[in-house]
Amino acid sequence: MPDGTLDEAVVLLNPRVVGESVDHDEQYEGCLSFFDVRGLVSRPLLVEVEYATIDGERTVTTFRDAAARLVTHEVDHLSGLLYADRMPTDGRLIPVEEYDDRGQPWRYPAGS
């Protein structure tokens, strides 16, 4: 997980973001909450998340790049937020049909 990848299931019980980098990037996100649109969302490139393990121990894990984006997206749901709530006020949701023409997979520098 430290390299930003999620190669296995991640279980975060009662997670909360306790730290984040100043550096952010903008990428398109989608969600099953309204899966027919996408939107540009700025998220931190690094987040520290405190959570309980299955054994009830509190721990902190650092997530980077795509993993940071995924984790913050999901933690937002626990606070009742959707990615559209993180978009700028002048941001626009893009229909999937339009997004398909210009959508790109999330890209992060190798080794970041």
Catalytic residues, which ones? 74
Place of tokens 């992060």: 108
Q: Burial of 71 by CB count in 10 Å (0-12 exposed, 13-18 middle, 19+ buried)?
A: buried
Closest CA to 75 of 48, 35, 55, 106: 48
